Amino acid sequence: MPYAIIRGKNGRRHEVDFGDDAVRVEIHSSEETVEIFIEADFDTLPEGRRRFAILNIPRHLLSEATAAAVRRAANSPAKGFRQLHQGDWSQTVDRE
C-alpha cells in the first residue's frame, strides 16, 4: 500500500495515502538530481485533483543510500535464502 509522509520546517505533518488504488511511478534523473514521482487517480480525476507525491534529491545522496542498503542486505541475508560464494555455483539446482 503506497503512501508518503512529509514534515515541513514548520513541523506540520502531511500524508498522502494511495490505498489500494493503482498508482503510476516515474523516475527522472539529471547529472545532479533524481526525481521520483508517484500519482494515483490518473484514470478518473483531472490533473489538478489527483493525489501525488514528488521526491527530488541530489543524485549522490541516492547513490550513497542505495550502496548502504546493499551493504546491509549483504551482511544479513534473509531467512530462507542462502548466500552463494564463487565456489558454490556447482551446488545450485535449476528449478523450472
Enter the pTM of the model.
Answer: 0.67
Identify whether the C-beta of residue 59 lies closer than 8 Å to the C-beta of residue 36: no
Query: Each residue of 29-63: pLDDT tens digit?
Result: 999 999 999 999 888 888 888 899 999 999 999 99
Neighbour-count burial of 23, counting CB atoms closer than 10 A to its CB (0-12 exposed, 13-18 middle, 19+ buried): middle
Query: Each residue of 54-80: pLDDT tens digit?
Result: 999 999 999 999 999 888 888 876 655
